[in-house]
Amino acid sequence: MVTITVDGLEITVPRRTRLLQACLDNGIYIPNLCYLEGMDQPPASCRLCLVEIEGRPGPVPSCSLEVEAGMVVHTNTDEVQKLQKMAFRLLVCTNEGQCRMCMANKRCELQRIAKFLHMPLRTKRLRHLPKDLPEVIEDHPCIVYEPNKCVLCGRCVYVCAQQGNDFSLSFANRGFNTVISFFGSQNEGQGDACLDCQACVDICPVGALNLKDDRRRHLRKMAAKAKARG
């Protein structure tokens, strides 16, 4: 076991625990999108879980760092918050930001982080740059993908590979046009396997991946609501 200090609180966790996991387990929330428990090598790509550690020159991503005895960690210094807010701005400036119509409304990780950082979901400091991608991609027999909601955290790619399926999700294209691709899953047989698994849909933090049936039901509900409102 290792004892570390986080924001003045002493916590004891097993050796080789990731710092982010240690904090989350002890009720200290650090915003994060791309990390999942049990990851061998967290991608550390969302850059939201930065923390400051005494004795280190700059903030470090806590998801890829293992705890060390006597570590003194600060999760809410000005510099950390500044970096987290900037990373968040960069994420949401390409995002659709139409929460009311979204299926993930109220259980969206972006909303949670926004609340935590006291940030709006539509940032004014950066120009809003919607991606030039189709609104929905319906290649897959039972899953719909909405690239404009996707934050490319890669959780779905990870869990899909974890299932050990012959087929797995992956990133496709490059840069601004990056999407999650279902290539090779268009055949009907795959639909059943995915319907049984749904790991990617369950893990998506922002509601970019949904089951086709669920989405259809949701759209019908929204249309009925809009009609009732006049």
Partner 1 sequence: MSDRCDHDQEIDLEEQQILAAIEAALPAMPTDRHQLIPLLQHIQGTHGYLPLGGIALVARHLKMAASKVYGVATFYNQFRFNPPGRHPLKVCLGTACHVKGGEIILENFSRRLGIAEGETTKDREYSLERVACVGCCALAPVVMVGEKTESYVTPSKVEGIITEIEIQNEIAERAKEKHEPESDTQ
Exactly one of 37, 40, 78, 166 binds partner 1 (CB under 8 A); which one?
166
Exactly one of 162, 170, 191, 211 binds partner 1 (CB under 8 A); which one?
170
Cβ closest to partner 1, residue 109 vs residue 146: 146
Reference 131, options 183, 161, 174; nearest CA is: 174
Exactly one of 76, 171, 192, 223 binds partner 1 (CB under 8 A); which one?
171
Query: Is beta strand 2-6 parallel, antiparallel or unpaired with respect to 72-74?
Result: parallel
Least distance from partner 1 to the Cβ atom of residue 183, Å = 4
| Total length of the chain | 230
d(CA 54, CA 70): 10
176 binding partner 1? (CB under 8 A) = no
144 binding partner 1? (CB under 8 A) = no
Cβ closest to partner 1, residue 102 vs residue 157: 157
Contact 30, 151 (CB under 8 A): no
45 binding partner 1? (CB under 8 A) = no
Cβ closest to partner 1, residue 29 vs residue 183: 183
d(CA 89, CA 37): 25
135 binding partner 1? (CB under 8 A) = no
Please calculate the CA angle 105-110-111 and round it to the nearest 5 degrees. Answer: 55
> What are the DSSP calls for 56-99, one per residue?
SSS-EEGGG-B--TT-EEESS-HHHHHHHHHHHHHHHTTS---G
Sole window of 9-17, 22-30, 36-44, 165-173 interacting with partner 1 (rule: CB under 8 A): 165-173
Rg (CA), the chain: 19
φ/ψ of 28, rounded to 5, equals: -105, 115
Q: At what angle do helices 78-92 and 109-117 cross, to 10 degrees?
A: 140
Least distance from partner 1 to the Cβ atom of residue 161, Å = 8
167 binding partner 1? (CB under 8 A) = yes
181 binding partner 1? (CB under 8 A) = yes
Least distance from partner 1 to the Cβ atom of residue 91, Å = 21
168 binding partner 1? (CB under 8 A) = yes
77 binding partner 1? (CB under 8 A) = no
